[in-house]
Amino acid sequence: MSFRVEAAQNQIIENKSNPINQKIDRKFSSFLTESLQKQTTATEMKISNHAQKRMEERDIQLNHSDLTTIEGAVEELNQKGSKNSLIIYKDMALIASIDNRTIITAMNANEMETITNIDSVKKINV
């Protein structure tokens, strides 16, 4: 059994935001680019359930400005190609999944002994 893929025709879409209702000629690639841009703008940090429990146990608290600072570090690590990173911030150490923008676990900096399965370290100076 074989399948044949034919070249797609340009799609004509009615632009409802334009009061004149002009038609716009868009290709699939422009839809794809737009979709990818929407995904990359959702850069909000998440905290996993595991990390949340560890933070409660160790009395670690992050406020909005802390998360904004950490988001900046995660973005820098992402641009450099990091996947799993140790982020040292104030008196805490956070392991983060850079691709998922998720804090995986948290500990006090003085608890760090052996850290494995990371590919980068970022120290945020405050």
pLDDT, greater one: 18 or 100: 100
Mean predicted lDDT score pLDDT of the chain: 82
Q: What pLDDT, on the 0 to 100 scale, is given for residue 44?
A: 81
Q: How far from 25 is each of 9, 29, 62, 69, CA to CA, in Å? A: 10, 12, 47, 41
Q: What pLDDT, on the 0 to 100 scale, is given for residue 82?
A: 96
> Which pLDDT tens digit goes with each residue over 33-92?
776 666 544 458 899 999 999 999 999 999 999 999 999 999 999 999 999 999 999 999
Q: 94 near 40, Cβ under 8 Å?
A: no
Q: 62 near 55, Cβ under 8 Å?
A: yes
Q: Report domain extents, the chain.
A: 11-41, 46-124
pTM over 0.95: no
DSSP 95: E
- 44 token code pair: 């909000």
